[in-house]
Structure 1
């Protein structure tokens, strides 16, 4: 009987403990007119992005951003989104996203 109680207690603790996700890569470089960063976590999530200032000092000044992010869902399927964000808005692309 004690064995069953201990087993049930351990099982409960195992279920209650949140998943441990660690950062396995983190890079960053920020300059006056550009930036870059990238990170990866132990659960398969990653994100990298770079941005540059376009037409600095003019009326058409804008930040142009290129990036990609990905994650693994609970069934093991990996999803990736590549994107551009600029004066025309956020423009994502991915195999799982609908096409215009």
Structure 2
């Protein structure tokens, strides 16, 4: 049994099949729509067989890796040769109850192309995902409410619109 690569099949398709489809001796009378579909299929096959672009980071060796998984808890950690590391642990709280929740704590770290090392620590529990890291944006401090706004609020409170049966008039 012979094996053909996608490029060999595409080459045969162009040299034999497509030439017959487009020739004047074609009894099927292939029109422009079918020709377009055939050419599109050919391009798709050639593109699909092209080289896969991979980052050098994709082949980073695993330096260490550890994991323990149990029904009510787990933990894992790993470190790669390119400086990426991660660890996480989780525990099931209130198992079997209606308020059952998974509490997770973890950290990951990597080095950016510019050499900056980013570290992210997080907790995820019934209160949501709570990340922390020096690189994360921080909400600005609340500003005091200007006096003219406070006076306006007080005026509106004192001079509330009159209502009849709870409806403004």
- TM-score between the two structures when normalised by the length of structure 1: 0.80
User: In structure 1, how many angstroms separate the alpha carbons of the residues matched to 2:123 and 2:54?
Assistant: 38
In the alignment, structure 1 residue 65 sits paired with structure 2 residue 104: yes
Partner of 1:85: 124
Q: For the pair shown, which has the larger CA radius of gyration, 1 or 2?
A: 2
**Aligned runs of 1:1-100 on 2, under 5 Å?**
18-19=55-56, 20-100=59-139
Of Structure 1 and Structure 2, which has the larger fraction of its residues in strand? 1
- Distance in structure 2 (CA, Å) of the matches to 1:46 and 1:76: 15
When the two chains are superposed, the root-mean-square deviation of aligned CA atoms in Å is 1.5
More helix by share: 2
Q: Which runs of 5+ in 1 are unaligned?
A: 1-15
Q: Could you tell me how far apart the structure 2 residues matched to 1:48 and 1:97 are?
A: 19
Distance 1:84 1:17, change over 3 A: closer
- What's the CA shift for 1:18? 4.6
Provide the TM-score with structure 2 as the length reference: 0.48
Question: Structure 2 vs 1, CA of residues 94 and 58 (structure 1 numbering), >3 Å: closer, same or farther?
Answer: same
* TM superposition shift of 1:85: 0.6
Across the two proteins, how many residue pairs are aligned to each other? Answer: 85
Higher relative contact order, structure no. (Cα contacts within 8 Å, ≥ 6 residues apart): 1
Q: Which runs of 5+ in 2 are unaligned?
A: 1-52, 140-169
